[in-house]
Protein backbone atom coordinates (compact mmCIF):
# COMPACT_ATOMS: atom_id res chain seq x y z
CA UNK A 1 0.00 0.00 0.00
CA UNK A 2 2.95 2.32 0.53
CA UNK A 3 3.58 2.40 -3.22
CA UNK A 4 -0.03 3.47 -3.86
CA UNK A 5 0.25 6.07 -1.11
CA UNK A 6 3.31 7.56 -2.77
CA UNK A 7 1.59 7.59 -6.18
CA UNK A 8 -1.51 9.36 -4.80
CA UNK A 9 0.66 11.80 -2.91
CA UNK A 10 2.52 12.56 -6.14
CA UNK A 11 -0.72 12.95 -8.12
CA UNK A 12 -2.07 15.35 -5.51
CA UNK A 13 1.18 17.30 -5.47
CA UNK A 14 1.57 16.56 -1.78
CA UNK A 15 5.02 16.81 -0.28
CA UNK A 16 6.47 13.81 1.44
CA UNK A 17 5.22 13.39 4.97
CA UNK A 18 7.18 15.89 7.07
CA UNK A 19 6.70 14.26 10.45
CA UNK A 20 4.61 15.12 13.48
CA UNK A 21 4.99 18.89 13.03
CA UNK A 22 4.09 18.89 9.33
CA UNK A 23 0.78 18.54 7.53
CA UNK A 24 -1.47 15.59 8.25
CA UNK A 25 -0.02 12.52 6.58
CA UNK A 26 -1.65 10.94 3.58
CA UNK A 27 -1.49 7.60 5.33
CA UNK A 28 -3.09 4.32 4.30
CA UNK A 29 -6.49 4.98 5.96
CA UNK A 30 -6.62 8.42 4.33
CA UNK A 31 -5.77 6.91 0.94
CA UNK A 32 -8.38 4.20 1.36
CA UNK A 33 -11.01 6.82 2.24
CA UNK A 34 -9.99 8.93 -0.76
CA UNK A 35 -10.20 5.96 -3.11
CA UNK A 36 -13.60 4.92 -1.66
CA UNK A 37 -14.93 8.45 -2.23
CA UNK A 38 -13.51 8.53 -5.76
CA UNK A 39 -15.18 5.21 -6.54
CA UNK A 40 -18.64 6.57 -5.63
CA UNK A 41 -18.18 9.99 -7.23
CA UNK A 42 -20.50 10.59 -10.17
CA UNK A 43 -19.82 12.67 -13.25
CA UNK A 44 -22.74 14.92 -12.27
CA UNK A 45 -21.70 15.16 -8.60
CA UNK A 46 -22.91 18.23 -6.72
CA UNK A 47 -20.44 20.21 -4.65
CA UNK A 48 -21.03 20.87 -0.96
CA UNK A 49 -21.78 24.50 -1.86
CA UNK A 50 -24.40 23.47 -4.42
CA UNK A 51 -26.01 21.11 -1.91
CA UNK A 52 -25.94 23.75 0.82
CA UNK A 53 -27.62 26.25 -1.54
CA UNK A 54 -30.56 23.94 -2.20
CA UNK A 55 -31.00 22.29 1.21
CA UNK A 56 -34.11 24.33 1.98
CA UNK A 57 -35.67 23.21 -1.30
CA UNK A 58 -34.60 19.64 -0.53
CA UNK A 59 -36.35 19.73 2.87
CA UNK A 60 -39.47 21.11 1.19
CA UNK A 61 -39.22 18.28 -1.34
CA UNK A 62 -38.89 15.70 1.46
CA UNK A 63 -42.05 17.10 2.97
CA UNK A 64 -43.81 16.93 -0.39
CA UNK A 65 -44.09 20.70 -0.69
CA UNK A 66 -41.42 21.60 -3.17
CA UNK A 67 -39.30 20.66 -6.10
CA UNK A 68 -35.53 20.64 -6.44
CA UNK A 69 -35.75 20.74 -10.23
CA UNK A 70 -34.66 17.11 -10.41
CA UNK A 71 -31.68 17.56 -8.12
CA UNK A 72 -33.21 15.63 -5.19
CA UNK A 73 -31.51 12.37 -6.23
CA UNK A 74 -28.18 14.14 -6.61
CA UNK A 75 -28.62 15.82 -3.22
CA UNK A 76 -29.55 12.48 -1.63
CA UNK A 77 -26.48 10.86 -3.20
CA UNK A 78 -24.24 13.63 -1.86
CA UNK A 79 -25.78 13.36 1.60
CA UNK A 80 -25.11 9.61 1.59
CA UNK A 81 -21.39 10.20 1.99
CA UNK A 82 -20.90 13.83 3.12
CA UNK A 83 -21.16 14.18 6.89
CA UNK A 84 -20.75 17.97 6.73
CA UNK A 85 -23.82 18.41 4.50
CA UNK A 86 -25.79 15.89 6.57
CA UNK A 87 -24.97 18.01 9.64
CA UNK A 88 -26.24 21.09 7.79
CA UNK A 89 -29.43 19.24 6.85
CA UNK A 90 -30.03 18.14 10.45
CA UNK A 91 -29.39 21.68 11.71
CA UNK A 92 -31.83 23.09 9.15
CA UNK A 93 -34.51 20.56 10.08
CA UNK A 94 -34.04 21.35 13.80
CA UNK A 95 -34.27 25.09 13.08
CA UNK A 96 -37.46 24.61 11.07
CA UNK A 97 -38.96 22.41 13.81
CA UNK A 98 -38.07 25.01 16.44
CA UNK A 99 -39.60 27.79 14.37
CA UNK A 100 -42.76 25.72 13.88
CA UNK A 101 -43.11 25.34 17.68
CA UNK A 102 -43.52 29.10 18.14
Say if residues 89 and 55 touch (Cβ distance below 8 Å). Answer: yes
Q: How far is the CB of 62 from Zn ion (least distance, A)?
A: 17
Q: How far is the CB of 64 from Zn ion (least distance, A)?
A: 24
By CB under 5 A, residue 82 contacts Zn ion: yes
Total of chain residues touching Zn ion, rule CB under 5 A:
3
- CB nearer to Zn ion: pick between 5 and 68: 68
Q: Which of residues 30-69 bind Zn ion (CB under 5 A)?
A: 48
List 31, 74, 85, 89, residue binding Zn ion (CB under 5 A): 85
- CB nearer to Zn ion: pick between 5 and 71: 71
- CB nearer to Zn ion: pick between 83 and 100: 83
Sign of CA dihedral 54, 59, 62, 66: negative
Interface positions with Zn ion (CB under 5 A)? 48, 82, 85
Amino acid sequence: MAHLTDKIRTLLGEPAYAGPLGEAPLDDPACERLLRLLSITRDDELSCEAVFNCLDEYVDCLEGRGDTAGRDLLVAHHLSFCADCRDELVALIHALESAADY
